[in-house]
């Protein structure tokens, strides 16, 4: 059977089929627009980012995909534990009004479910097709150039482009407008272990086979200074990552893949708590990945009739597991803005501004919550934007944010903002007894 042909024109071209692109394509197609989604990968494709905070359910409800997620049977997460060298602190979303659980998901499967739903909802999805360049970004009709699955060049005329290409950031790179974030000059190394002991919300140590009955907490531990690590139990393996500042990169930079794996395994085994949950021999060879200097800020969130959303626009440190939710949020509001502009072209500029304002405020807030030494790296404009996002948040969400920031020792700026806005209530800090782990 020959593969379906990519059309020559459409209303909206979505670049990338991660959570951002699938959310946007689903919403636009359901409003009757002709949507073409192009992804260079063939899904399901591997991606890091397995800890989902429960805010994502709101979007899966809107996309009509909640049942598929539930029936997949992903692992529930029992809450978050943060260890920064003095005490082990905990956080549970249920205490902040979230009735449905946070999850630990295999992202290849989670993302594929969202993408298939977008296709079933009417978006035309093409996989294994890479967008190469975009012409006439500022014109009424934009040309998206691509290389198809057979390596053949092609082009597509479109009224709107939605760049959801993740860290590849197709449009921002073409226009050289990515601004690397000096406040978050970190690199990430991560790999997978076959199994592990784990901690529950109450600090109990459990064996791997108990994870379906006793939900594992996401464990974050310091690796010295501002570096940190994650330990995320999955159904068939365990995701373990290390985030280190740029000046410590040499600790994990080996001369060969085997060398790097060895350094990583040794580094992880020395991380307090996390190291004692894992057996070095359970490391899955070949699973180590690395991303350097991954945080950047947007110079602009729209360019002509092109919208930048999700990681293609901005990326902050993943310490608060906000990436997928921010992806679905931005995909959703970008779809809304584009749909309104297609309906009423005279309001296109207003919709661009509204989108940039809403998404920009959220990015500023989550950057503030992830920044170590926030006062040194926030401009007045960013502070004002974050304050606006805070003012628009519910009381429960503010308390949740405050607890996350406190547990991760990133609460100095937030506390000042709360004081300035007259928010006197502070969440109760809960510590967990030091777990009884064998040495």
> What is the C-alpha to C-alpha distance for residues 264 and 94, in angstroms, rounded to an integer?
34
Q: What is the DSSP string of 207-274?
A: -GGGTTTSPPPEEEEE-STT-EEEEEE-SSSEEEEEEEEGGGGGGT--SSHHHHHHHHHHHHHTSTTH
The distance of closest approach from Cβ of residue 362 to ligand FAD in the complex, given in angstroms and rounded to an integer, is: 13
The distance of closest approach from Cβ of residue 105 to ligand FAD in the complex, given in angstroms and rounded to an integer, is: 9
> What is the C-alpha to C-alpha distance for residues 183 and 293, in angstroms, rounded to an integer?
11
Give the residues lining the site for ligand FAD (CB under 6 A): 15-21, 38-41, 45, 47-52, 130-131, 164-168, 170, 188, 190, 241, 291, 294, 310-312, 318, 321, 323-324, 327
Q: Is 125 helix (H, G, I), strand (E, B) or coil?
A: strand
> What is the C-alpha to C-alpha distance for residues 221 and 86, in angstroms, rounded to an integer?
11
The distance of closest approach from Cβ of residue 15 to ligand FAD in the complex, given in angstroms and rounded to an integer, is: 5
Pairing of strands 142-147, 306-308: unpaired
Q: Which is nearer to ligand FAD, 50 or 411 (CB)?
A: 50
Q: How many residues does the chain have?
A: 439
The distance of closest approach from Cβ of residue 351 to ligand FAD in the complex, given in angstroms and rounded to an integer, is: 20
Token couple for 217: 């907490």
Burial of 180 (0-12, 13-18, 19+ CB in 10 A): exposed
Burial of 76 (0-12, 13-18, 19+ CB in 10 A): middle
- The per-type count for the chain, helices as H runs and strands as E runs, is 13, 23
Find residue 292's DSSP bridge partners. none
> What is the C-alpha to C-alpha distance for residues 178 and 191, in angstroms, rounded to an integer?
27
The distance of closest approach from Cβ of residue 17 to ligand FAD in the complex, given in angstroms and rounded to an integer, is: 5
Q: Which is nearer to ligand FAD, 186 or 418 (CB)?
A: 186
The distance of closest approach from Cβ of residue 23 to ligand FAD in the complex, given in angstroms and rounded to an integer, is: 8
The distance of closest approach from Cβ of residue 218 to ligand FAD in the complex, given in angstroms and rounded to an integer, is: 8
Ramachandran angles phi, psi of 152, nearest 5°: -85, 135
Q: Which is nearer to ligand FAD, 75 or 383 (CB)?
A: 75
Q: Which is nearer to ligand FAD, 331 or 435 (CB)?
A: 331
The distance of closest approach from Cβ of residue 85 to ligand FAD in the complex, given in angstroms and rounded to an integer, is: 22
Q: Which is nearer to ligand FAD, 110 or 418 (CB)?
A: 110
Q: Which is nearer to ligand FAD, 165 or 348 (CB)?
A: 165
Residues 6+ apart with CB under 8 A from 214: 78, 200, 204, 206
The distance of closest approach from Cβ of residue 170 to ligand FAD in the complex, given in angstroms and rounded to an integer, is: 5
Q: Which is nearer to ligand FAD, 51 or 221 (CB)?
A: 51
Q: Is 171 helix (H, G, I), strand (E, B) or coil?
A: helix
Q: Which is nearer to ligand FAD, 290 or 415 (CB)?
A: 290
Give the residue from 141, 140, 145 showing the smallest Cα distance to 171: 145
Per-residue b or e along 216-230, where b marks 16 or more CB atoms closer than 10 Å to that residue's CB: bbbbbbbbeebbbbb
Q: Which is nearer to ligand FAD, 44 or 122 (CB)?
A: 44
């Amino acid at each position: 059977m020959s593969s379906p042909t990519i059309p020559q024109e459409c209303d909206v071209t979505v670049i990338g089929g991660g959570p951002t692109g699938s959310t946007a394509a689903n919403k636009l197609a359901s409003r009757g627009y002709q949507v073409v989604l192009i992804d260079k990968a063939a899904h399901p494709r591997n991606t890091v980012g397995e800890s989902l905070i429960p805010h994502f359910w709101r979007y899966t409800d809107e996309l009509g995909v909640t049942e598929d997620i539930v029936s997949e049977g992903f692992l529930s997460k029992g809450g978050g534990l943060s260890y920064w060298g003095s005490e082990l602190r905990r956080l549970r979303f249920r205490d902040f009004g979230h009735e449905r659980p946070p999850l630990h998901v295999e992202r290849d499967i989670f993302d594929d479910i969202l993408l298939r739903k977008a296709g079933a909802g009417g978006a035309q999805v093409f996989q294994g097709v890479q967008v190469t360049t975009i012409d006439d970004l500022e014109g009424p009709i934009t040309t998206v150039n691509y290389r198809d699955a057979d390596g053949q060049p092609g082009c597509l005329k479109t009224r709107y482009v939605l760049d959801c290409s993740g860290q590849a950031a197709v449009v921002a790179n073409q226009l050289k407008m990515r601004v690397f974030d000096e406040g978050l000059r970190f690199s990430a190394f991560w790999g997978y272990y076959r199994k592990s002991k784990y901690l529950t919300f109450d600090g109990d140590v459990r064996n791997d086979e108990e994870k379906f009955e006793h939900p594992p907490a996401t464990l974050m531990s310091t690796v010295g200074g501002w570096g940190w690590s994650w330990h995320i139990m999955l159904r068939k393996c365990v995701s373990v990552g290390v985030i280190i500042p740029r000046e410590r990169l040499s600790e994990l930079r080996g001369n060969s893949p085997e060398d790097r794996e060895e350094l990583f395994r040794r580094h992880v085994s020395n991380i307090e708590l996390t190291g004692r949950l894992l057996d070095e021999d359970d490391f899955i060879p070949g699973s180590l990945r690395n991303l350097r200097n991954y945080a950047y800020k947007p110079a602009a969130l729209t360019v002509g009739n092109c919208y930048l959303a999700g990681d293609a626009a901005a990326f902050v440190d993943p310490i608060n597991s906000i990436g997928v939710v921010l992806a679905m949020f931005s995909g959703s509001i970008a779809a809304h803005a584009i749909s309104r502009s297609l309906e009423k072209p005279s309001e296109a500029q207003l919709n661009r501004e509204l989108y940039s304002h809403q998404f920009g405020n959220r990015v500023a807030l989550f950057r503030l919550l992830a920044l170590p030494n926030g006062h040194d790296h926030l401009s007045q404009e960013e502070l004002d934007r974050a304050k606006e996002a805070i003012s628009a948040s519910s009381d429960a969400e503010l308390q949740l944010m405050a607890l996350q920031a406190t547990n991760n020792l990133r609460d100095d700026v937030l506390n000042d903002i709360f004081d300035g806005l007259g928010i006197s209530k502070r969440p109760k800090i809960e510590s967990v007894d030091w777990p009884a782990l064998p040495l």
